[in-house]
Structure 1
Amino acid sequence: MSNHKGFTEADVPDQSGRCFIVTGANAGVGFELSSVLAARGARVLLGCREKSRAEDAMARIKQQTPNANLAWLPLDLGDIESVRAAAAQASKEPRIDALINNAGIMFPPLTRTKQGFESQFGVNHLGVFALTALLLPKLAETPGSRIVVTSSIAHLKAKIDWDDLNAERGYAKQERYQASKLANALFFFELDRRLRATRSPVTAIGVHPGVASTSLGRHMGLAQLAGPIVGLLLNSAAKGAWPALLAATGPVKPGGYYGPIGFGGIRGVAGEAKRAPQATNPVLAQRLWDVSVAMTGIDPGLPTV
C-alpha cells in the first residue's frame, strides 16, 4: 500500500475486466465507489431506484472517465420483488467480481417497505440479505469474488428487539437504525462462517464509512449544526468510500471488518475496525439468519456446518 498506515483510493489496483455492483450508487459514498472503480477500468452496475438519478450519476462519472463502462441496475431494496428482478438482471453479466452493499437509509419516520417491514430493518438488512442470497450463485462462478456489507459505528451500542422486529409496538428511529446496522454486522459474520464451511470461492467482508458527511443524515438535522466545525470531524464521502474500496479490491481477511482508523474510527485512511461483542455472537447470528430467511422467503442455501 502506498500509505503504510492505511488504505486509500490511491491503493486501488487496476480493475480492467472486472465487474462490480454498487448499491446506492447515485450519491454519497456509493457514487464515490462507482467513480473510483470506473476510473480503474472496471465495469460498474449502479444499483439505484430511479433511472434519472442513475443517468445523472453516470454522466458525472463520464466527465472524469469518458470511456467508463457503466450500466443502471434498477433496484429498490425496500421491495423484495425489485431485488429479485435486479439479481436476475445482474446474473446475466458474464461475471461479477464483487457485490458492494452500500445503500441504506437512516432515521426516517416510521415507514414500511413494500412487503410491510419496518423500513430501516427492511432496507438496510432484509433487502441486503435477499440481494446477496440471490447473487451468490453468480458470484461463485468467479473465484476470489467478494461480498461487501456496510455496517456502522452505530452498531456498537445496538440491540435487536427480537419480539418486535416490525416496530408494531414501538418505534424509536435511532434505536431501529442501530439495530439494522448490528444486523448487517451479524449477517456478514454468519455469511463468512457459512461460506468458509462450504469451501465457497466467495469471500464476505464488512465495512463502515466512519461518519461521512452525506445525504444519509438528512433526517438528523446535521445541517442545522455548525457546518464547518462538523465538517472537520466528519469523513468526506470520498474518504468514506475507502473502507469499501479496500474490502472490494485490497488485501483483506475473510470475515474481516474495515473502517477509518483516524479519530475514534470516524474518519481517515482505512484499516481494521473494531466490532461490538454482540456482532460476533454465533447464537444471535444464527437467529438473525433464520429470521431473515423466514421474512424474505429467500434462502441463501448455505448449510450450517
Structure 2
Amino acid sequence: MGLSIGRCLSPKRLTGKTAVITGGNSGIGKETAKDFYLRGCNVIIACRVPLRAQEAIDDIKRQCLRRRKVGTLDHVQMDLKSLSSIRRCAMLLQQKPKINLLVNNAGIMACPFSKTSDGFEIQWGVNYLGHFFFTLLLLPKLIESRPVRIINLGSIAHLYGNLDFTDLNWEKRKYSSTKAYAQSKLCMILFTRELAKRLYYKNIHGINVYAVHPGVVKTNLYRFIEDNISVLLSRFTSRGIFMTTPEEGAQTTIYCAVEEDLQNETGFYYADCKRHWAAGKATHRGDAERLWIESLKYCKLENYDPFKIT
C-alpha cells in the first residue's frame, strides 16, 4: 500500500446478478453501486434513511444517463444501530429470487461514545456486529444463490485494534474513539476468516468472502474526528498512504466482486486490488473462533444455524 492506487481493470459484466450494498448511498458505497449498475447488476442499497438512498439512486442515474446495458437500482431501509431493523431488512431481502453479492460497506468512524438501541458501543455495533448479524441472517439465501461473493470493509486501522474479550462493548475500559474504530475493523477481518473457514468445514462451496482496505478515503466518514484526525492520519501517512477519492477507494471492493482470478480464494485481506498482508492478530484462529461465539451471544443467535441448506 504505497503511493500507487490499484484499479480494477476487469470488464466483467454482472448482468442478471443482484447485489446488496450497505451504506450504498454515499462515499465508497455509492461508487460501488454505480460501478455495479454500469455492469448490468440489479443493485439494492441498504440505507438508514430512504430519502438519502433515493437521492443517491437519482444521482447515479443522472450520471449514467447515456450509458447502455445498465442494471437496476433500488433501496431498502435498514438501521445498523438496531438489530430489529436489520432483521426486518433481512426478512424482506430473503424474498428476493437471489442475492449474488453482499457488500458490507457502511460504517462510522471515531465518533463520540454512544450506544446502539441494543446497548452496543456504537462503532462495534454498527461497523461489525450489525454486519455480522445481517450476514448470518442472509446466509441461507446466499447459499441458495451461489455463486456468491461477500465483501467486508476492513481497514488498515486494524493494525491498532485490540480485542479484550472481557470488555468488547467498552463498558470497563477508558473509551478511545479511534481504538474502538480500530477494534471494529479488526473484528471485520477476523469475521471474514472465520466465516470462510466455517463454510469450508460445512462443505459449502461457491461462497467467497473477502475483507478489503479501501485506502484512506476522503468521505464524510471523517466528520467526527477533528480532534483525532491528525494523530490517526499521521499513522497512516507514515506508511506511505494518502487520502484518495471515493471512486478510487471503491476499486478494491469492485475487484473482489468481479475479478475471476479470485474465484478460488476466500477468507483473505485485500488492498490496492491485490491480496495483502494483515496483522497477526487479524489472522489469529483462536480469536476468530472466540469472536464468532461471543458475537452469536450478543446477537442472541446461539440456537440459529446460518448454514442450513433448505
TM (normalized to structure 1)?
0.88
For the 8 Å contact 1:110–1:173, the answer to whether it is kept is: yes
Aligned residue among 201, 211, 215 for 2:216: 211
Equivalent residue, structure 2, for 1:110: 113
Aligned residue among 280, 287, 308 for 1:284: 287
Task: Give SS of 2:216's match.
Answer: coil
**Equivalence map 1:145-184=2 (5 Å):** 145-169=148-172, 170-184=174-188
- 1:243 paired with 2:243, answer no
Higher RCO, Cα 8 Å, sep 6+: 2
**Deviation digits for residues 13-41 of structure 1 (CA, Å, limit 9, x no counterpart):** 11110000011111100000000000111
Equivalent residue, structure 2, for 1:140: 143
How many aligned positions are there?
Answer: 285
C-alpha separation in 1, matches of 2:109 and 2:17: 31
Task: Give SS of 1:162's match.
Answer: coil
For the 8 Å contact 1:195–1:302, the answer to whether it is kept is: no
**Deviation digits for residues 169-208 of structure 1 (CA, Å, limit 9, x no counterpart):** 2211111111111100110010010011112131111111
Structure 1 125/223 Cα, relative in aligned 2: closer, same or farther at 3 Å?
closer
Unpaired runs of at least 5, structure 1: 261-269
C-alpha separation in 1, matches of 2:284 and 2:75: 37
Matched letter for residue 56 of structure 2: A
Structure 1 176/6 Cα, relative in aligned 2: closer, same or farther at 3 Å?
closer
Equivalent residue, structure 2, for 1:266: none
Equivalent residue, structure 1, for 2:122: 119
Unpaired runs of at least 5, structure 2: 231-236
Equivalent residue, structure 2, for 1:37: 36
**Deviation digits for residues 42-87 of structure 1 (CA, Å, limit 9, x no counterpart):** 0000011001100100001111234540111111111001110111
- 1:47 paired with 2:38, answer no
Task: Give SS of 2:217's match.
Answer: coil
Equivalent residue, structure 2, for 1:22: 21
**Deviation digits for residues 207-262 of structure 1 (CA, Å, limit 9, x no counterpart):** 1101111111111229997xxxx9x92121101101111111113211121112xx
Cα drift, residue 12 of structure 1: 4.4
C-alpha separation in 2, matches of 1:111 and 1:175: 14
Mean Cα deviation higher: 10-19 or 282-291: 10-19
Structure 1 68/56 Cα, relative in aligned 2: closer, same or farther at 3 Å?
farther
Aligned residue among 67, 70, 73 for 1:70: 73
Cα drift, residue 298 of structure 1: 2.5
For the 8 Å contact 1:198–1:302, the answer to whether it is kept is: no
Task: Give SS of 1:192's match.
Answer: helix
C-alpha separation in 1, matches of 2:180 and 2:203: 34
Aligned residue among 248, 251, 267 for 1:255: 267
C-alpha separation in 2, matches of 1:12 and 1:74: 31
**Deviation digits for residues 132-157 of structure 1 (CA, Å, limit 9, x no counterpart):** 00010101112220111111000012
Task: Give SS of 2:79's match.
Answer: coil
C-alpha separation in 1, matches of 2:29 and 2:39: 16
Cα drift, residue 10 of structure 1: 3.8
Matched letter for residue 63 of structure 1: R
Structure 1 130/224 Cα, relative in aligned 2: closer, same or farther at 3 Å?
closer
C-alpha separation in 1, matches of 2:98 and 2:169: 36
TM (normalized to structure 2)?
0.87
For the 8 Å contact 1:110–1:118, the answer to whether it is kept is: yes
Structure 1 224/162 Cα, relative in aligned 2: closer, same or farther at 3 Å?
closer
Cα drift, residue 92 of structure 1: 1.2
For the 8 Å contact 1:9–1:36, the answer to whether it is kept is: no
